[in-house]
Chain A
C-alpha cells in the first residue's frame, strides 16, 4: 500500500471513528490499522530484533548465575518499561509503578504458595486484580499532572510498601519464603518447568518479548497517535473529538499490567518475596534503567534493564560506593544523553540515513 493510500485510509478511519457513536466500533478500528512510514518502523524493529537475538544467545555463553541475573534483568526491565511507557508516550512521570509490581508479586506468591500451581490461574487473578486497582487509582490520579502525578504515585507506592511491611498475614518485614516455582503447561504443546534456569530464562524472555511487541503494536495504531497528541498538546485534543481522560486511563492500566505481570514472575526466581520489592530503592533502579536505556522508546527501558542490572552486579562487587556510581550515571545521562542508549543509537542511524 502506498503511503498516500495509507494516510487516506487512516484519516478516513479517524474521521469515521469520530462520527460514529459507538465507542466499541471506534476501539476496534483504532486498534486494527498500523500507521507510520515503513522506514521509522524498520529502524526500531531492527534494533528490537537485534536485542532479542542477543538475549536469546546469552544463556549459551554464560554460567548459571548470569542466566539468573538475566532473568532478573528482564523482569526489572519490564518494571522499567512500565515507567517508560507512561513517561514517553503519555507524558506522565510515575514514581510508583513498583506498587503494581509488588501487588503482582504478592498475589503470585500467596497463590502459588497456598492455592494453586496453575500459572494461568494466577495470571488471570493478577490481571483482574490489577486492572481493578489500577482503574480505580488511575481514575483518581490521572486528573493530576506533571510533578503532582509523580509525587502522588510515589506516595501510593510508599503506602503499599508500609502495608506489606506491617501486615503479618503478608509475611511482614520478613516476607514470604518457600514459594514453589510452577510448571507451566501449554495445552497440547508441552510444559515449561520454571525450576530449570534455562527454561525460566526463555520463559521470562518470551513474556517480555510478547509485552514488547504488544506495546509497540498498540502504539502504532491510531490509539497510539492520540496518546502522543495528548502528550504533546493536551488542550487541543478534545477539539478533535477525543476525551483525553479515557486514553490516559487505558494507558495507565496497561502500564500497570506490564509492571504487575513482571512482578508476578519475579518471586518465582528465588522463591521469595518481601516488602523491599516495593521500596524506593527498587523505584530508583527502575528509573535508572528507563533513563539509561531511553525514556521515550519501548526498547529503551528493556535495554536499560540489562545494562543497569549487570553493571550494578559488577560495581557492587568492586566497590562499596555503588550508590555513588548510580548517582553519577543519573547525572551524566541526564546532562549529556537524556534519550538514553537507544536514543544515541537512533540518532546515529538516522544521521546515516540522511547521507
Chain B
C-alpha cells in the first residue's frame, strides 16, 4: 500500500513538478540594464508574412540604436513572441511579456482585434503598447486607450488620401468596393465609401466575400453588371492574390477599370505571387521603397543588404516605432510608462518615409501619405499627400 502511494505520488506529481520547475526556471534574471521590448508579431498562421517584414524593421532599428549607444544608455533587447495570428493567443503572450519577461513595452500586433485585446492587457498591467500595422479606426477612435499608440496609417487616413487623389484624377465616378466580411473589412469599407460619396463619387456596389474566400468568380457577374470605373479592394494579402489572379483569368483586368485598395492588399509579401495581375494597382500607403529622399535610399540599401529583400510599409512602420521610443525617452528623460507616454505625445520624429508626429489627443501618428501605383514588382510613387490633410479628426473621447 505504501509503495502504491509512493508510485502514485510520483506518477501524478511528476508532470506537476515539471511545470513548477519550468515556471521557476523561467523566472527572469534581474536584467535592469536593458530596455526590454516585447515583439509580439504573427510568426505562424495567415498573418505570418506581415510579421516577417515587421521583425526585420524592428531588428534593424534596434541594431542601429544599440550600435550608437542605445536609449538613454540602455540597450534594446527584444523578447519575441508569436501571436499565431490569433487574438486570444496575442492576449496571453502579452501577459507573459509584461508579467513574466517584465518588458517595458509591447509592439507589433497586426490583427485589429488582437491589438485591442493586447491594449486591454497593457492597461491592466500599467504598461504601454503600440501597433505598427493594425488599421481599424476603432483603435485610436471609439476604442482608444491611453496605453495604446499607433504609428501607422489607419483605414481612414488611407481612405482620405486615396479617395482624394482618385476623385481628382480619375474621370469616372463609379466605384465598387470589395471587402472581406469581418470587422476590419467593414470598417475599411465605410471609411472609403463615406469619403467617396462625400466627394461626388457613386458607390455602385459593395461586395463582401468571406475572409479567406477561395473563389471570387462568384462575384464577377456582379462586378461586370455594376460597370465600375474603379474597383477598390480591402482584402488581405493572401486573398488579394486570388482575387486579382482570378479577375485576370476572367478578363476583368486590362480594360478601362482601375484597381486599387487598402495598403495591405498588395505589398512586398505578395507582389511576387501576383505574376502581373496587380499591374496598375493604386493605393495610398505610408511607404514605398522608391521614395526619393537621401534618407530613404540609404535605408533601403541597408535593409536590402541585411535581409535580401526590399522593405515594405510594415517594416518601415516597425522601424519607425523603435525610433519613436528613442526620441520619446530622450525627450521625457526616462523609460517608465508615465514618462514614456508623456514623451510620445505630440512628438515629431524622422523616419525613412518622412517626418511623423504622434498626436497626443488620440495617440495616432500623423504622417504623409504616398499615392502608389504598382508597376511590375515595383511600387511607383505618383503622388504625395500632406499628413495633416488626411489624418482626420480626433474621435477619441476616453482621454
Contact = CB atoms under 8 A, between A and B. Distances in A.
A20 interface: no
B99 A306 contact: no
Contact of B15 (A175, A177, A279, A341): A341
Nearest to B124: A271
Nearest to A42: B4
B315 to A, nearest CB: 18
Nearest to B27: A63
Contacts of B87: 174-175, 272, 274, 276
A271 B183 CA distance: 19
A46 B8 contact: yes
B88 A274 contact: yes
A151 interface: no
Nearest to B7: A349
Interface stretch (A8-16, A128-136, A312-320): A312-320
Range of interface residues on B (Cβ < 8 Å): 35 or more
Contacts of B43: 320
Interface string B125-168: 00000000000101000010000000000000000000000000
Interface in A64-97: 64-66, 68-69, 72
Nearest to A313: B96
A50 B17 CA distance: 11
Nearest to A277: B88
Contact of B116 (A55, A61, A72, A177): A177
Interface stretch (A24-32, A165-173, A183-191): A165-173
A72 B96 CA distance: 13
Range of interface residues on A (Cβ < 8 Å): 35 or more
B24 interface: yes
Contact of A65 (B7, B100, B117): B100
B337 to A, nearest CB: 17
A65 B95 CA distance: 7
A175 B113 contact: yes
A178 interface: yes
B131 to A, nearest CB: 13
Contacts of A62: 20, 23-24, 27
B23 to A, nearest CB: 4
By secondary structure, the A interface counts as helix
A177 B143 contact: yes
B294 interface: no
Given A173-B113, A320-B82, A72 B92 contact: yes
Interface in B66-107: 81-82, 84, 86-89, 91-93, 95-96, 99-100
B113 A306 contact: no
B3 A270 contact: no
A281 interface: yes
Contacts of B26: 66, 314
Contact of B120 (A47, A177, A320): A177
B300 interface: no
A64 B99 CA distance: 7
A58 interface: yes
A341 B9 CA distance: 13
Interface string A23-54: 00000000000000000000100111011001
B11 A344 contact: yes
Nearest to A266: B88
Nearest to A346: B11
A61 B20 contact: yes
A316 B24 contact: no
A276 B88 contact: yes
B19 interface: yes
A172 B143 CA distance: 15
B113 A270 contact: no
6 contacts: A51-B12, A66-B19, A270-B92, A307-B18, A316-B81, A348-B11
Given A270-B121, A345-B11, A352-B7, 10 more contacts: A47-B12, A51-B16, A61-B24, A165-B182, A172-B186, A174-B138, A271-B124, A310-B18, A310-B22, A310-B23
